[in-house]
Structure 1
Amino acid sequence: MRAVLVLAHTGRRDAVEAAVTVAENLHAAGLRPVMLEHNLQSLAAAAEQRLKAANIAVAGREVEIQDCEIGMVLGGDGSILRAADRVRDARLPLMGINLGHVGFLAESERTQIDDSVQWVIDQNYTVEERMALDVQVWQADQHLGSSWALNEASIEKASRQRMVELVIEIDGAPVSAFGCDGIVMSTPTGSTAYAFSAGGPVVWPEVQALVLVPISAHALFARPLVVAPDSVMAVELLQREDERGILWCDGSRSMELPPGARVEVTRSEKSVLLARVHQTPFSQRLVDKFNLPTTGWRGPVEAHNTLPSREPEIGLGPDPEAGLGAG
């Protein structure tokens, strides 16, 4: 039997109702809905009888996550990021149904829940790979820990009263040092999240690049940097007793950084898989999600609509030697 993992933000009433509806619809179509045990326990109080009727399997006990063909995530971008962390090793594609605000990672909106289930039933989707980050933390020659991120790894000041002093490095060469509120190192996927809020560039998902964005830096040169996908971005905290920071990965996994800590960020060998149905250009997604004004746009001119005409001559300007006689 085909199995589909259903993941939801069980702290939200609309997400609970949506998750139960999705499970019921999958079951009615002959598919086996699968949920995490703690999600099932959270949902049971609100819809125990409906859950039993949907014959939901417990992930990891009755059906392994890697045996599911797709994961359906009901919630906002935060829910999708948490789901990506849960299924990353299983290489399971995720289809997000946005119940939040912007929902940049989601494929559909709350009004398209039934459509989303039908896409899964019909296997009417493609799988897109998104670059992720590998994050390593060092102090001198001691390895303190590691993590990963789909959106970004950010280093922030530990104290609200003072800045954190950092040195940034690209491919083994120091670039600049300054005091700031923090640094964001992101993927193209994360360029529209924290990095965007900090003033970084919007990078199209198909562009292979890494982005580094200082946050409120006190420096003349503290511009966002876009580097090669195989580059090594590193940030070092200055070696001071009170110079501490906090590393956040995708805003959910954190680690305290002691004075002198070094954070290295590279492209991960493991990408994240997203299920896509709509072949909407990324530019249109930007317009839709941020409600950007496009009034006055006329569009490209079709070649067959243009009238033949002589190419205008481009003048080179007056000859500076013209009119100057000898002697």
Structure 2
Amino acid sequence: MTAPTNPYNRIALLASDTERAQEAYKALSPQQDWAPLEEADVVVVLGGDGFMLQTLHAMLDSGRIIPAYGMNLGTVGFLMNRYDKRANIAKRLAKAHRKSIAPLRMEATTQTGETQSLCAINEVSLLRETRQTAWIEVTVGDRVRIRKLICDGVLVSTPAGSTAYNLSANGPILPLDSEVLALTPISPFRPRRWRGAILPDRMHIKLRVLDPDKRPVAAVADQKELRDIAEVSLEIARDTELELLFDPGQSLEERIVSEQFVVD
């Protein structure tokens, strides 16, 4: 059988600043001449999910998006592949499968009228800034669905992020190809029995903060926070797809399915 041909000529190698990731970087560095990230066809990311998100966001900010192959040297490693210091990186890349994911785009307006656009690969969450509960109006499509959600916060998760904060907030795990989003309340008080909603990802979502002077709210898009929010509008950024690479049998779809059968 003929070995698969590596489709990538220029490979970049990045590592987080943790001790384990830096040791892995030293172990893998002699394998080949690594390209600078700005000239690479693909990037190998050493670290955990947080560092992978940081790398993907750097691509979004720069406007230059290339496939990313992660090797887990963090904790969960949901977006990563298994690390093996003996592995031949070029061979693993040649066998890897691609998976495209589209981030959420958040258009946020602050109480002072400033606007900012941020992307989230996992989720956008609105969180109370003080001991007071947040009051949030929820609009989906062209209709107000909840006039006053009283809660610690609310989040909108992509399928890729559904096993992260969303799952911790008792939100649903979403198959990667489901084309839906999870709208999940965080410690809801009213409506008391509302557990959230699963929404088609083509729908526009708007979250408006009520009584912001007494009950200020922050918005967090993955790792970036904006404070004193007036409202946020959310939709899938279909013009900005990212590509993750996974070893055979280790796809993101399989991990999402497997996570639903984990018993503590």
Is 1:184 matched up with 2:184? no
Matching residue's letter, 1:179: I
**More strand, by proportion:** 2
Normalized against structure 2, the TM-score is what?
A: 0.86
Matching residue's letter, 1:98: N
Q: Hey, what does 1:320 align to over in structure 2?
A: none
TM alignment of 1:195-210, pairs within 5 A: 195-210=166-181
Matching residue's letter, 2:176: P
State how far apart, in whole Å, the 2-side matches of 1:270 and 1:155 are.
Answer: 23
Larger Rg: 1
Matching residue's letter, 2:234: V
TM alignment of 1:154-173, pairs within 5 A: 154-159=125-130, 161-173=131-143
Is 1:91 matched up with 2:60? no
Normalized against structure 1, the TM-score is what?
A: 0.71
Q: Equivalent of 2:21, from 15, 18, 21?
A: 15
Q: Equivalent of 1:117, from 89, 106, 109?
A: 89
Mind listing any 5+ residue stretches in structure 1 that lack a counterpart?
Answer: 35-56, 60-64, 295-327
SS in 2 for 1:128: strand
Q: Hey, what does 2:12 align to over in structure 1?
A: 5
Point out 4+ residue stretches in structure 1 off by more than 3 angstroms: 139-143, 279-284, 286-291
Is the Cα contact below 8 Å between 2:169 and 2:186 reproduced in 1? yes
- Deviation string 1:114-164 (CA, Å, 9 cap, x unpaired) is 3361435x62223210121000013599452110010001110111x2211
Is 1:212 matched up with 2:183? yes
SS in 1 for 2:77: coil
Q: State the Cα distance separating 1:190 from its structure 2 match.
A: 0.6
Mind listing any 5+ residue stretches in structure 2 that lack a counterpart?
Answer: 1-7
State how far apart, in whole Å, the 1-side matches of 2:51 and 2:175 are.
Answer: 22
Matching residue's letter, 2:182: V
Q: Hey, what does 2:247 align to over in structure 1?
A: 277
Is the Cα contact below 8 Å between 2:47 and 2:70 reproduced in 1? yes
**More helix, by proportion:** 1
State how far apart, in whole Å, the 2-side matches of 1:207 and 1:287 are.
Answer: 12
State how far apart, in whole Å, the 2-side matches of 1:17 and 1:86 are.
Answer: 23
Name the CA shift for 1:141/1:253 in 2 (closer, same or farther; >3 Å). Answer: closer
Is the Cα contact below 8 Å between 1:150 and 1:272 reproduced in 2? no
Q: State the Cα distance separating 1:224 from its structure 2 match.
A: 1.8
Matching residue's letter, 1:15: A
Larger RCO (CA within 8 A; separation ≥ 6): 2
Task: Work out the number of aligned pairs and report it.
Answer: 252
Q: State the Cα distance separating 1:284 from its structure 2 match.
A: 4.9
Q: Hey, what does 1:236 align to over in structure 2?
A: 208
Name the CA shift for 1:80/1:116 in 2 (closer, same or farther; >3 Å). Answer: farther
Q: Hey, what does 1:33 align to over in structure 2?
A: 34
Comparing 274-283 with 131-140, greater Cα deviation is found at 274-283
Is the Cα contact below 8 Å between 1:204 and 1:282 reproduced in 2? no
Name the CA shift for 1:270/1:5 in 2 (closer, same or farther; >3 Å). Answer: same
State how far apart, in whole Å, the 1-side matches of 2:205 and 2:42 are.
Answer: 33
Q: Equivalent of 1:70, from 42, 46, 56?
A: 42
Instruction: Please give the root-mean-square deviation of Cα atoms over the aligned residues, in Å.
Output: 2.5
SS in 2 for 1:79: helix
State how far apart, in whole Å, the 2-side matches of 1:109 and 1:144 are.
Answer: 40
Matching residue's letter, 1:125: A
Q: Equivalent of 2:218, from 222, 225, 246?
A: 246
Name the CA shift for 1:284/1:186 in 2 (closer, same or farther; >3 Å). Answer: closer
State how far apart, in whole Å, the 1-side matches of 2:244 and 2:251 are.
Answer: 16
SS in 2 for 1:97: strand
SS in 1 for 2:226: strand
SS in 1 for 2:99: strand
